[in-house]
Amino acid sequence: MRKLGRSLKLNDNKGYTIAVALALIVVSSLLIGYYLISRLPPEGYTTIYVLDSQKKAIDYPELLVINENNTINVWVVVENHMDTRQSCEVLQKVVSDPISFPVEADVQSRYAKTIENGETWEALATVSINEPGSYSVVFELWIYDDDAGAFQFSHNYCVSKLEVIGQT
């Protein structure tokens, strides 16, 4: 290295200057490349979320009392950002066992709609539970797959935990 530096007639100060300049060029190139890649349009997505009866995300029911208030209403909202029309289905399930997805339980209610790109769909879901215990109310989003010719689980879901007690 010293021979190369001497042949280029570089003293120690000039050598450091060139090394720093090369490092700055490399770092600048990486930053510019990252910026260009991050500006690519994002992949499409669908999303599902649950709102309370006032269409807000603040006052979710947590405790139900049998024969007093054992029914709740929540809004299930699905958004389509896939750059194409999507046929969607939301499956509502109530389980008391540990959960793995998709949930292996009977479908309590089914909501279906074809949603245009950029459209939001809201459905009012009613849940009634008549037995004491701890429950999970699950809303799974399924998307129609043209290749498979059937609805496929999108791995998007919402879970609301409820405690149901007898009358006090």
- Per-residue CA distances from 100 to 50, 73, 96, 155 (Å): 19, 24, 12, 11
CATH of domain 45-165: 2.60.40.10
For residue 50, how many other CB atoms are within 10 A of its CB?
16
pLDDT digits (tens, 9 = 90+) for 44-55: 999 999 999 999
Ordered by start, the domain boundaries in the chain are 2-38, 45-165
Kindly report, residue by residue over 87-138, the tens digit of the pLDDT: 999 999 999 877 888 899 999 999 999 999 999 999 999 999 999 999 999 9
Tell me the per-residue pLDDT of 22-43, one tens digit each, with 9 for 90 and over: 788 999 999 988 887 777 667 8
pLDDT of residue 14: 62
Q: What is the pTM of this model?
A: 0.74
